Amino acid sequence: MTQPAAIDDARATPTAARTDVATTTDAGVPAEASVGGRIRDLRQSRGISARALAKTLGISPSAVSQIERGVMQPSVSRLIAITDALGVPLVAAFDPASDRPLEPAGPSGFTLQRAGQTPDIVLDSGVSFRRLTPGSSPGIDYFESIYPPGAAAHGADGLFHHEGYEVGTVVAGELTIDFEAERVILRAGDAISYPCSVPHRLHNTGDADAVAHWLIVHG
């Protein structure tokens, strides 16, 4: 059950992209496995320049370059802003297979994803994401997020918004969501839904990892 708590104020903000050489990032991470490398591929496949993406996001071209090269990890809110700007689902930024439909595994027509087959990605402040949907799921993002103690979806204290409708269930720990006029604390078993257009901020004020499953429906 959600537990509304203190009413407080916050504000707003959101934003990233790779090139085409299969090497390692400046941070020593294989380019193909990095979030920045994946974003770069998505950007280039859509014919969008790094400068044009930077302008859309309201950041400098050098910041886009740093994200693409793995020098700087984007926050959750920045990654969402990037995928919105590129017109792709959030999962496309951390799973190259997300845009490649899988063949059904058997005559029953199901698609199977075994444990360990989907990589985790770690963003700014240590927040990690893992895709939960086996195969392609047009119009839907379904993933797991883990927020370490003190981690937030947005680097500053502001709120952010994005495209879609969000449904989340906390699996473990405690996750706090700030809205413009109130704060909601979610604990294991609690669930919440809201339009992503409503300014919000997710963060973990507890002393253990907060694990949540999220479904984002794109309208």
Mean pLDDT over the full length of the chain = 80
Residues with Cβ within 8 Å of 110's Cβ and at least 6 positions away in sequence, in order, are 104
Mean per-residue pLDDT, 137-156: 87
For the chain, the straight-line distance linking the first and the last C-alpha, in angstroms and rounded, comes to 27
Given a cut of 50, whether residue 12 has pLDDT beyond it is no
pLDDT band for position 108 (cuts 50, 70, 90): confident
Describe the chain by its helix, strand, coil percentages, rounded to 5.
25, 25, 50
Given a cut of 50, whether residue 196 has pLDDT beyond it is yes
Given a cut of 60, whether residue 167 has pLDDT beyond it is yes
Q: Residue 48: its pLDDT value, please?
A: 96
Mean per-residue pLDDT, 19-28: 36
Q: Considering only 53-62, 136-145, 205-214, which range has the smallest mean pLDDT?
A: 136-145
Positive or negative, the CA dihedral 214, 174, 200, 60 is: negative
Q: What is the pTM of this model?
A: 0.75
Q: Residue 136: its pLDDT value, please?
A: 72
Q: Residue 209: its pLDDT value, please?
A: 98
Q: Considering only 66-70, 109-113, 202-206, which range has the smallest mean pLDDT?
A: 109-113
Higher pLDDT, 131 or 137: 131
Q: Residue 113: its pLDDT value, please?
A: 80
Given a cut of 70, whether residue 101 has pLDDT beyond it is no
Range list of H helices, 12-162: 35-45, 50-57, 61-68, 76-86
Mean per-residue pLDDT, 32-59: 89
Q: Residue 9: its pLDDT value, please?
A: 30
Given a cut of 60, whether residue 19 has pLDDT beyond it is no
Residues 26, 70: Cα–Cα separation, whole Å: 6
Given a cut of 80, whether residue 102 has pLDDT beyond it is no
At 177, give phi and psi (nearest 5°).
-120, 120
Report yes or no: 167 and 191 within 8 Å, Cβ to Cβ: yes
Report yes or no: 205 and 147 within 8 Å, Cβ to Cβ: no
